[in-house]
Amino acid sequence: METISENASFGGVQGVYKHKSASCACDMTFAVYLPPQAKKGPVPCLWYLSGLTCTHENAMTKAGLQEHAARRGIAVVFPDTSPRGDDVADDEAYDLGKGAGFYVNATQDPWAPNFKMYDYIKTELRDLVQSEFPVLEGRHGVTGHSMGGHGAITLALGNPGLFASLSAFAPIANPTASDWGRKQLTAYLGTDESKWKTHDSTLLVGSHGWEGGILVDQGASDQFLDLLKPEALANALAESRTASVFRMQPGYDHSYFFVASFGRDHVDWHADRLTA
């Protein structure tokens, strides 16, 4: 693992790191914020999965989570959203290829050799963070925005015990029924829609549930509401009687101004569960 940069932030350290990924068969960059409490010993860990077109850097610099994480004594991990490099397949569209890994393990060419973001987050980067940083085993939570909200919910519900707390900002909630989903799932996983079900938050909530409670914030003025389909997830949460807080926030759009506005609530949501 190579250190790219480390900067003091709210008494802790915001670092950026690079490593060779076996899952994605390329170099991957990620960021970790360690709060000041980590100087004395291991701390709980919150994973933030970013959305379409983002790298590790967007949320690291725009979401404003470091102050809240320092206050509550939890680390924050900011992974990239896809493999990178000259030899990695890409597409001219912003919503496929680099920056659009969709947190799945691609099985179709030309994506299959590199686009293994599901395994990368679930196992490879998790193991690396656990071994190289002072974070507590079994005290990991996950959140994310848009495509990252989709990734957070599907990874948590699909892997019981991997995360102890869960939230999302404006997740792509029902990708099997949305143009933000059907296009990418077809490209990465093929045309057999039965293989898509484990990557749809709405379907997973209905079949798996979640015991720890889920916090979801959605901007009511989000310009992508028709693609995100928040009503599908809200209905699934209600029908499955899953403990949850689902908030439509008046006037907020899909930007990082929205994420930053409710970042404190989400950090507190996770810290309450990870430090109990």
Active-site residues, by number, are 146, 222, 254
Contact, 275 vs 247, CB < 8 A? Answer: no
What tokens were used for 272?
Answer: 């309450």
Element holding 126 (H helix, E strand): helix 125-132
Quote the CA–CA distance of 32 and 17 in Å, as a whole number.
Answer: 8
Quote the CA–CA distance of 11 and 163 in Å, as a whole number.
Answer: 26
Contact, 75 vs 135, CB < 8 A? Answer: yes
Contact, 81 vs 51, CB < 8 A? Answer: yes
Is the sign of the CA dihedral 242, 124, 192, 144 positive or negative? positive
| Number of residues that make up the chain | 276
Helix (H, G, I), strand (E, B) or coil at 213: coil
Element holding 28 (H helix, E strand): strand 26-34
* Cα 59 to the center of its chain, rounded Å: 11
CA distances from 227 to 175, 243, 268 (A): 8, 25, 28
